[in-house]
Structure 1
């Protein structure tokens, strides 16, 4: 008689705490740790002139993470736009989608700059300083030609090289990419590929494959965001502290009030007006919001913003891959609307200059039309230069604001990426191509990899959405 042997039951798999596995909790923990380490470095006497070992380490960690993000930006923008143009060509309402996207970019920018002006006028952050305009100050005309010339590619890669002299007297060449030029090049290449037709199919297939590969690499980089967060936030706190703002405290408060009004009032109202849940908007956009806050880079956050639009908001992939990269270079309610509006009012008040209605109108015009120029240079800095020049205000006022720029830049970027995810959802809802079930679904970890079943279901969802756009039923 044989005796049946039973193998012992496997030990129950021990689950790790949520903060160790969930991307959102990892970011929150990193924010706390970065703040603590930054304050510790500050307490050790860290300054930009006399850095401490802890401050330098935090700066090194944050700098490496930002460098990794920037390294993938150019190929991501190029292949994403080329692939998205190819995808949009397969639907019947491609032109309408693009037109509506740009229209909503302009509408929300207009609302944001008006809110910024109202906040600046009501709070008066620069009043009471007793300062007068510098003796060297002269009103300067707006360089409108800069908008046009910045869009003309100097070469196929949009690559520019700036030469500088080091302390040792050596000439150092620093290559940079003009992302606006890369965007123009990629649009031209995408349209040309469509005009070529069948002969360009291998190139379009290659572009889609490269986009998938680049996105996978970027997911790996984004997974390092908690480590980068510690360095980025720690460096900001160690370098600037909380008490060094001085008279700029009211300016910082005014900026964040303006950002909060857009994020907590305007965006929810737009979502509700389109029949979308406000609660789902906040829970869905949170991954992009928090990464934009700590990375201070709309382009660096682009992979997460696009995934939020597709996975959390239910925007069709073909449209999202067009609208989100476009928004990452031209849709900046924080950097190109709220910030320059309040900053212009602050500088005028600081120097005791009364703004006329015409000057206010110029500020609005530049903020709405000039956001595209932010892609080619340093974002908010170029917008501030254009705004102050247009309104006839002293450019010397920029030096006052650069001291607190890292602090306000966090909130600006977080608002930028939130708008870049929301607008495609609004347009998709208007066009009837939004996956409402996905928008209303319970939120998961947007950074988690898809398993086979989700991949299959997602592919079918895309086919259904595409079929809805062209009027074909794909299910058996």
Structure 2
């Protein structure tokens, strides 16, 4: 299979700011511009400009999600077939996905139980209207594609007018891609041209995404500026305890659970942190694991020494199913918040059901922006008011940034640990601090 896009390379002539530094500058600029847009009456034009810039950046990322998902999954299955003990590696990868998800949801339940965010609402809350809902029936039906392209129609209300549009069901795309990949591998030589085509399309999609990623500092300024201008501190105040509980859970997993696993396995925490930081930064601002996939995979290979043949399977799989932030911490804390807000008592069985949904249903998030589907799936399983999801929509973009950063970090952690357990780690490429995207 192809060797994939190059690892970020050093600037050849004059020193250039690292990708992380560029993103940091964009973040600071975004916050300052957002504050200016919110505080200055004569800068009313600034907020729409920031929103347009941020929306265009996310729109470009979303446009590349379907080809990335299909080609990455097909290529990952083909690559796994070339790895010795591929079935064993796949099994251990899924096992670690489940272990880290179980630990993460336990931390989320503990944080939600101790902080009681639903009992500390700072003011009246207005319930919004979630644009997507989740239930086990819908989840199971969603596994079976209605067409080979994974397209689905949806109707939204805007200014009292119903508008119908087409969108890709990412979960169905994953199922379709898995079926196509295994069928092509099963055919042997007759399937090789298809696998070669899929690999070529994957490299093209990654190159296109690499061009889009160069706009990340600008997109960061627009996205963070919009968040500050739209929500500000007043909105955060009413849900302050909830936001604090979610971010505390994310921090405990990212800076507590993950380092503990690395130390337990005798792996260097500092090296992993340096390797994961660029991908986590991009995940934070873009709010999409799929959009971050190429950078996540290249950092896993180049900076951690995970073999490309295995990483090409594990990282794309993680980008669609490994969601410790969106599918473990967030639904756990949110379910407890909703129960506490409505005065509904939860017992040990309810806690076990939350854990079960987090471990089994994480594919419902499918690596795209937002976790409303996962939250409503959890609420419906527990019999909690689905309107509770609408209460949390006001600050969801702010929370989604932290959730996605943790998702991406976990998607690098598991392949690193499994490759170490199987004795597959190679010498990592020493990537200088001052790098630019290739």
d(CA) in 2 for partners of 1:228, 1:409: 16
d(CA) in 2 for partners of 1:68, 1:323: 25
Alpha-carbon contact 1:178-1:376 (below 8 Å) kept: no
d(CA) in 1 for partners of 2:238, 2:121: 8
- Give the alignment partner of residue 101 of structure 1, picking from 93, 99, 114: 93
Deviations 1:138-181 (A, max 9, x none): xxxx9422221111111111111223465485x63322111111
Q: Specify every segment of 5 or more residues in structure 1 that has no aligned partner in the other structure, as ranges.
A: 1-12, 135-141, 450-476
Rg (Cα) greater in structure? 1
- Give the alignment partner of residue 173 of structure 2, picking from 166, 176, 182: 182
TM-score, normalised to structure 2, is 0.90
- Give the alignment partner of residue 363 of structure 2, picking from 355, 372, 378: 372
The aligned runs of 1:33-432 (5 Å cut-off) are 33-44=29-40, 52-127=44-119, 143-164=135-156, 167=159, 169=161, 172-375=163-366, 379-432=370-423
**TM-aligned CA distance change 1:33 to 1:359, over 3 Å:** same
Deviations 1:25-60 (A, max 9, x none): 1001001000000111111359xxxx9311110011
Alpha-carbon contact 1:38-1:236 (below 8 Å) kept: yes
Tell me whether 1:448 sits opposite 2:437 in the alignment.
Answer: yes
Secondary structure at the aligned position of 2:163 is classed as: strand
d(CA) in 1 for partners of 2:41, 2:54: 20
Query: Could you tell me which residue of structure 1 aligns to residue 129 of structure 2?
Result: none
Aligned-residue RMSD, C-alpha? 2.3
d(CA) in 2 for partners of 1:186, 1:14: 42
Report the Cα offset of residue 399 of structure 1: 2.1
- Give the alignment partner of residue 428 of structure 2, picking from 409, 425, 438: 438
More deviation, 273-282/33-42: 273-282
d(CA) in 1 for partners of 2:188, 2:407: 36
d(CA) in 1 for partners of 2:247, 2:396: 12
**TM-aligned CA distance change 1:130 to 1:175, over 3 Å:** closer
**TM-aligned CA distance change 1:52 to 1:259, over 3 Å:** same
Tell me whether 1:32 sits opposite 2:28 in the alignment.
Answer: yes
Query: Could you tell me which residue of structure 2 aligns to residue 15 of structure 1?
Result: 14
d(CA) in 2 for partners of 1:324, 1:91: 15
Deviations 1:290-338 (A, max 9, x none): 1111111111111211111111111111221211111111110001000
Alpha-carbon contact 1:341-1:363 (below 8 Å) kept: yes
**TM-aligned CA distance change 1:127 to 1:188, over 3 Å:** same
Q: Specify every segment of 5 or more residues in structure 2 that has no aligned partner in the other structure, as ranges.
A: 1-11, 127-133
Q: Aligned pairs, how many?
A: 419
Alpha-carbon contact 1:181-1:376 (below 8 Å) kept: no
Query: Could you tell me which residue of structure 2 aligns to residue 3 of structure 1?
Result: none
Report the Cα offset of residue 253 of structure 1: 0.7
More deviation, 184-193/393-402: 393-402
Alpha-carbon contact 2:288-2:367 (below 8 Å) kept: no
Deviations 1:95-149 (A, max 9, x none): 01111111111111100000001011111112256999x9xxxxxxx94222211
TM-score, normalised to structure 1, is 0.83
Report the Cα offset of residue 446 of structure 1: 6.5
**TM-aligned CA distance change 1:353 to 1:337, over 3 Å:** same
Deviations 1:337-357 (A, max 9, x none): 001101111111112222111
- Tell which has more relative contact order, 1 or 2 (C-alpha 8 A, sep 6+): 2
- Structure 1 runs of 4+ off > 6 angstroms? none
**TM-aligned CA distance change 1:79 to 1:386, over 3 Å:** same
Alpha-carbon contact 2:339-2:345 (below 8 Å) kept: yes
d(CA) in 2 for partners of 1:304, 1:330: 17
Secondary structure at the aligned position of 1:438 is classed as: coil
Secondary structure at the aligned position of 1:95 is classed as: helix
d(CA) in 1 for partners of 2:210, 2:144: 31
d(CA) in 2 for partners of 1:168, 1:337: 35
Report the Cα offset of residue 259 of structure 1: 0.4
d(CA) in 1 for partners of 2:54, 2:404: 16
Alpha-carbon contact 1:62-1:235 (below 8 Å) kept: yes
